[in-house]
Chain A
Amino acid sequence: MNGPAVLRALRDNGLSLGFGTLFLLALAGQAVTGQADYNSQQLSSGGEPVSLGQYLVSSSFAVDVAENWQSEYLQFFLYIFATVWLLQRGSPESKETGHQGPQSDEQQRMGSHAEPNSPRWVLLGGWREAMFSRSLGLVMSGIFLASWGTQSIAGWAAYNSDQLATRQDPIGWADYLGEPDFWNRTLQNWQSELLAVGSMAIFAVYLRQRGSSESKQVGAPHQETSSTS
């Protein structure tokens, strides 16, 4: 790609590239500060400090990352599925009232209403079209379940290493799923995501952010639900 083509590719993908870059920076920051926090706990409990490399292969780092991932993907997959059926009058996050449900093939430009440049699996029809019509929710809920499962395994290993450090017996994975440690890590993340989503849906009825695709137009009336911009 030549210079102008690179610039255009950057501009066309600003959201995914910008957030991807911020993610990597934040994860690096979490690794460094996580190691420092881990080491201060190790020192206060008479344990050995670990290097950054050792911390990055520890279950403590893994569970801290995974527990936050699962809650973010829970938020998105719930929102994706809930917005099929639940509406919020006046919110640009919602469909117009009365449009509950998966809608007709005509409204969704699928089935016999597919267009020549529709995605291939829409044009192929059958099970592929059925799968494709649910692919966003399936992938997001799949990542949620995988992250939550990962949290349970890494959290179990971290829990057992704490148990051993304090000369207590390690427990089995299934037993860990009944431990307050697992549910405290899980629910403290869920509650914040659910509050943020609910408040965003209702705040966007009465508040505006000029130029944002998440906001109605500044002059749009409060009772107007779908933003046309």
Chain B
Amino acid sequence: MRTTKAIFYAYLTLIVLSLAYFVALGVTHR
């Protein structure tokens, strides 16, 4: 289950960081 948990956190991290990146792009392109 260690690999499974690592994949779980990888997905969550990917989503959260990507959204933060896209928001930053939008805000800085004003």
Partner-B contacts on A (CB < 8 A): 9, 12-13, 16-17, 20, 57-59, 61-63, 65-66, 69, 139, 143, 146-147, 149-150, 153-158, 160-161, 170
Give 9 new A-B contacts, CB below 8 A, not counting A13-B7, A147-B19, A150-B26. Answer: A12-B4, A16-B8, A17-B7, A20-B7, A20-B11, A58-B25, A153-B26, A153-B27, A160-B29
Tell whether, in the assembled complex, residue B7 and residue A150 are in contact, meaning their CB atoms are under 8 Å apart. no
Chain B contacts for A139, CB-based, 8 A: 12
Consensus secondary structure, chain A interface: helix
Among B1-30, those with CB < 8 Å from A are: 3-4, 7-8, 10-12, 15, 18-19, 21-23, 25-27, 29-30
Partner-A contacts on B (CB < 8 A): 3-4, 7-8, 10-12, 15, 18-19, 21-23, 25-27, 29-30
State A61–B29 Cα separation when bound (angstroms). Answer: 12
State A9–B22 Cα separation when bound (angstroms). Answer: 32
Known contacts being A9-B3, A146-B19, is A59 close to B25, with CB within 8 Å?
A: yes
Chain B contacts for A61, CB-based, 8 A: 25
Listed by A's residue number, 23 A-B pairs whose Cβ atoms lie within 8 Å are A9-B3, A13-B4, A13-B7, A16-B8, A17-B7, A58-B25, A59-B25, A59-B26, A62-B22, A62-B25, A62-B26, A63-B26, A143-B19, A149-B23, A150-B19, A153-B22, A153-B23, A154-B22, A154-B23, A155-B26, A157-B25, A157-B30, A158-B29
